[in-house]
Amino acid sequence: MAGAAKHIPERSSGDSVAHRMYVEGDRLVVEFEGLEVVEAIKRRLEFSLEHIASVSTEPHGWWEGLRVGGTGLPGVIKEGRYVVDGKRVFFAMRHPDRCVTVEFKDEPYDAIVVEVDDKEAVARELARYVRARPGPRGPVSGQGAQIA
């Protein structure tokens, strides 16, 4: 699914989190702007769409994982690199119930947890790339249910 950048629904500009998530060619891109660059200690993350193993909308907890780089203030912000159950996870989260989790194989991070405006729409959009790929695929779920 190569071509121009494909917009994925993202956070509204009325919130203090300033990041964009989109598909560009065969890559999933998350870009950080403003103060979030400092909080996350990253400006941009890129992942191969072919390396997406699963997509979920299950919420994550504030106390989950060990922060190894970034900003964490329980109940307020969770930005940057964490180790969760031995896996490398990147968080961009202020509201756990508004996050989509993308798990990868063969990438520097095992998963990313990114807050978006419409987590179900983002999960459906990313699921299209997982389903379009031949061979075995990981689960794509929304609140524990399969996304059609």
Q: Where are the domains of the chain?
A: 6-146
Please compute, for residue 2, the number of CA atoms within 13 A of its CA located in the half-sphere on the CB side: 0
| Range 15-33 burial, b when 16+ CB lie within 10 A, else e | eebbbbbbbeeebbbbbbe
C-alpha pair distances (Å), 133 with each of 50, 96, 114: 7, 29, 23
**Looking at the predicted structure, is the pLDDT value of residue 94 above 60?**
yes
C-alpha pair distances (Å), 92 with each of 6, 49, 52, 119, 133: 20, 19, 18, 13, 27
Give residue-wise pLDDT tens across range 16-30: 446 888 899 999 999
Q: Please, which pLDDT band fits residue 61 given cuts at 50, 70 and 90?
A: confident
Q: By the 8 A CB rule, do 82 and 68 touch?
A: yes
Give residue-wise pLDDT tens across range 124-137: 999 888 877 665 54
Q: Which of 95-104, 107-116, 127-136, 138-147 has the weakest average pLDDT?
A: 138-147
**Looking at the predicted structure, is the pLDDT value of residue 80 above 80?**
yes
Please give the pLDDT value at position 84.
95
pTM for the full model? 0.77
